[in-house]
Chains A and B, each alone.
Chain A
Amino acid sequence: MWRLRRITESEHAAGWAFAFPAVCLIFVFGLVPVVWSALLSFQRTNLIAPGQWIGLANYKALPHDPLFQASIVHSLIYTALFVPLSVAGGLLTAVALNRRIRGIRIYRTAVFVPVVLSTIATAIMFLWLLDPNFGLVNYLLGQVGLGPYGFFDSATGALYSIVGMTVWGWIGFDVIVYLAALQGIPQSLVEAAEIDGVRTWSMFRNITVPLLGPATLFLVVWSSINALQLFDEVYLLTKGGPGTSTYVVVYYLYSLAFSQGVAGYAAAIAYVLLVAILSLTLIQLWVGRRLVYYAS
């Protein structure tokens, strides 16, 4: 009896009890789907009729699927461009915004607005702006003798147009994280460096950037996960096209599972993606632990 009393009165019990609703939600919307899609990946199913168990056949078919390979290549190109551009762009913008000038709050808000806007709204806006025949951007480029460019409608340019649009859309998030981190740089270090006559560039290179290491690591990991899961923009803007030029992994598995009735195979792709993202994140954290300086 005293044991029970000790358990119920402990901090642990109260803590778990308060966390219980959140744990339930994570269990229902996180863990159950993860296990369920693992089971699906060993089946042939359209989600409507009962599935058939087919062992590893879905996984064995993956290496022979040219569209899966194309989707991986596109996802990797996208990630390789999106992550450095948004993180570096976020850093430079944050440093530019980290000063006391008139109207700084307006600039900071302006940079963050795209993050809060819904993707569907920004997608439609870019669709109109970048229309090859009737868009404002091509009209302005035409005035100075350039273009017209196909942007989302061009097989060679569509993926890069999506990179541009998503960097614009997400850079505000990187800026906010970096601005917060910039507040954490000890003023004493900066003053000491100034007294020693350190120039602006050298200060940025040798003091600011290293001290922002933890923020950079977080942003690189977070942006990479996000980039490998690219879906909304492709779904709204290009549907994987023109041709196959913007097929990325998540769009491909979505179209398989929900419009083509091949849910088991799609689940296998989802699992390959899960393992890929998990490995990439572990590598990034492992490398990061060696490179990043944690000021305590």
Chain B
Amino acid sequence: MKRFGVSVAVILTLLIAACSSGGSSSGSGSGSNGQVNLVMWMGYTPPPPASQGAEYVALKDIVTKFMKLHPNIHIRMEYVNSDYALQKVTVALQGGQQPDISYQYGTNMPQIATASQLVNLTSIVKQPKYGWSDFVPGERAVATVNGKVYGIPALVDNLAVVYNKTLFAQHHLTPPGPNWTWSQLAADAKAISDPSKKIFGLTFPADGSETTVWEYEAMLWEAGGHILTPDNKKAAFNSAAGVRALTQLRQLQQAHALYMDFHPDAGTSETLFNSGKLGMIITGPWDLSTFPDVKYGVQIMPSWDPGGSHQTIAGPDNWVVFNNGSARVNASLEFLQFLTTPANLLQNSMATGALPTKLSVQQLPGFSQFNVKYPGAGTFAANLKNVVQARPQVTQYPRVSAALGREVVAAILGQATPQAALNSAAQQADSYLVVP
């Protein structure tokens, strides 16, 4: 009896120790005194000391300002890498531990919209104080799934061509103008490339991820193509436009003018561009601050034919709200409304170089300093008008994108012809799209 008693005591101690250390770490709700505690996941940059990211500091400033105005609301910022925010929230939802506010990529929206805990914002954003119609149309499209609004735009960017002015001058090339074409870009890239010196004309993300795919999609749209058919039931990228875009990339690779970046997350292309080893990089405004050592220019995407479309792709991200009781939902909405007032958006843009998510910010008197402080960012801001299409808002998109990414890379490497690769991707995509 004695021995048994001892073991029971040991077990109970262990279990209590195990439980007490893990419990109630994120179970903060609204207290009896009207205090509301919110958890916000953000993934721009890790908080200091891991990095001194301007994005973190700028957001923290606005959070602090908000909490001063609303002493009964406390917001805890938690860093969650945006690349894994969907996985994290999936797990959190399983355990009922969802945050109040979460930063999510636009491509995650159709998946997240299936969660019953996600707050439908359709009627809320109609209130004038949210200034919904002031958001860029492409952002609103990505915040909306099946006609219902689930997100408040958090960030908008777009792709344009950043080029090394010094390399262009060295090879006596005319810098790209707003009416330039892909054949011009290809000729420039080939002229600049010098394999013996490890200099490449253009870099392309080749990990087959969404980073690969969205760059290809911009080229596809410029050529007049579409990702899916209008009813989102079948793939449409294996068209003449799709083949034209992919053939161009394959030709550049064959000419040793294309740097295949198999690890775009690692920042190799940015480092190479900043070391003068790359003539051009197709990227967004977030990258400009990583090029302090080169004289660079920014130009909008080329068109396929003279006078053709220069459209680009935007990757708008959203803030979404999860239901943890009405007090916390209301406080979250209050904060998001505050975060997206034109004045605060301007403050954030000036602090981080991010494009303002509302168009009216570009009319504010302080905005003229934006392109002075962040050279080239003005071109990206103006380029928002070239955002005319959005990626299809369907749950199958990530899987379709993965198939397209694999085949695009295979075709550039010459493992299949562009047409065969796109047909194979389309066949896979069609099989995914028939499953709801």
Genuine A/B complex: yes
Near B by CB (< 8 A), chain A positions 106-139 give 127, 133-134
Contact B263 A127 (CB under 8 A): yes
Most buried by A among B262, B406, B428: B262
Give the interface SS of chain B, mostly helix, strand, loop or mixed: helix
| Contact partner, B435, options A44, A48, A240, Cβ 8 Å | A44
Interface residues in B313-356 (C-beta closer than 8 Å to A): none
Are the CB atoms of A14 and B208 closer together than 8 Å?
no
Does A238 touch B at the CB level, under 8 Å?
yes
User: Complex Cα distance A177/B334, Å?
Assistant: 61
Decide yes or no whether A46 CB sits under 8 A from chain B.
yes
B92 → chain A closest CB, angstroms: 10
Question: In the complex, are the beta carbons of A242 and B402 less than 8 A apart?
Answer: no
Quick check: B1 and A48 within 8 Å, CB to CB? no
A143 CB, min distance to chain B CBs, angstroms: 15
In whole angstroms, how far apart are the Cα atoms of A198 and B345 in the complex?
84
Closest residue of A by beta carbon distance from B198: A133
**Interface stretch of the complex, out of B53-61, B108-116, B230-238:** B108-116
Q: Given A13-B4, A46-B114, A48-B114, are A243 and B15 neighbors across the interface (CB < 8 Å)? A: no
Give the residue of A14, A47, A239, A255 whose beta carbon is less than 8 angstroms from that of B207.
A239
B410 near A: Cβ within 8 Å?
Answer: yes
| Per-position binary interface string of chain B over residues 248-264, scored 1 when its CB falls under 8 Å from any chain A CB and 0 otherwise | 00000000000110110
Decide if B10 is an interface residue (CB 8 Å cutoff). Answer: yes
- The answer on a CB contact under 8 Å between B111 and A242 is no
**Interface: B148 (CB within 8 A):** no
Min CB gap A45→B, angstroms = 10
A5 interfacial contact with B, CB 8 Å: yes
What chain B residues lie within 8 Å of A240 (beta carbons)? 208, 406
Is the CB of B11 closer than 8 A to any CB of chain A? Answer: yes
Q: A17-B11, A18-B10, A259-B87 are known contacts. Are A239 and B399 too (CB-CB below 8 A)?
A: no
Contact B1 A5 (CB under 8 A): yes
Tell whether A226 is near chain B: CB-to-CB under 8 Å. no
Residues of B within 8 A of A18 (CB): 7, 10-11
Chain A residues, CB < 8 A from B171: none
How many Å from the CB of B423 to the closest CB on chain A?
13
Question: CB-CB < 8 A to A258: which residues of B?
Answer: 86-87, 90
Collect the chain B residues with CB atoms within 8 Å of residue A26's CB: none
Contact with B along A240-263 (1 / 0, CB 8 A): 111110000000000110111110
Interface string of A24-42 (1 = CB under 8 A from B): 1000000000000000000
B93 contacts chain A at the CB level, 8 A cutoff: yes
Interface assignment of B72: CB less than 8 Å from any CB of chain A: no
B407 in contact (CB, < 8 A): yes
Which residues of A (238-295) have their CB < 8 Å from a CB of B?
A: 238-244, 255-256, 258-262
Asked if B410 and A243 make an inter-chain contact with CB atoms under 8 angstroms apart, the answer reads: yes
CA distance A259 to B90 in the complex (A): 10
Residues 186-220 of B at the A interface (beta carbon under 8 Å)? 198, 206-209
A-B residue pairs, 4 tightest by C-beta: A243-B410, A49-B114, A17-B7, A260-B399
